[in-house]
Amino acid sequence: MINKQLDALTLKHKIHSDAILMNSFVIGSDGEFFKGMRAWGQHAFFENSTRFFMEKYGYENMLPAVVHVDETTPHSR
């Protein structure tokens, strides 16, 4: 996907071989933040967080995010 996106760009300079082409983010908070929060509240938190990244970097540049609730504190990657 990344190479396909890059091929579609009109660049003035060649991309360096050591250039960073992708970043990964973990969205979360401490356990106290989520304590007592209902599932819909957690869903809204992750929806808003994902929307922030889509507005900042563009929807077309996003890969699917997954919320993990199988650990002590919910988080998204």
Q: What single-letter amino acid sits at 43?
A: H
For residue 75, report the phi and psi dihedrals to the nearest 5 degrees: -155, 165
Supply the pLDDT for residue 77: 64
More confident residue, 2 or 48: 48
pTM of the complete model:
0.69
Compute the C-alpha angle 10/58/21, nearest 5°: 60
Q: How high is the pLDDT of residue 5?
A: 83
CA distances from 43 to 15, 20, 21, 53, 73 (A): 38, 30, 29, 16, 14
**Mind listing the pLDDT tens digit for each residue in 13-24?**
988 999 998 888
pLDDT tens by residue, 31-77:
899 889 898 999 999 999 999 999 999 988 888 878 887 767 776 76
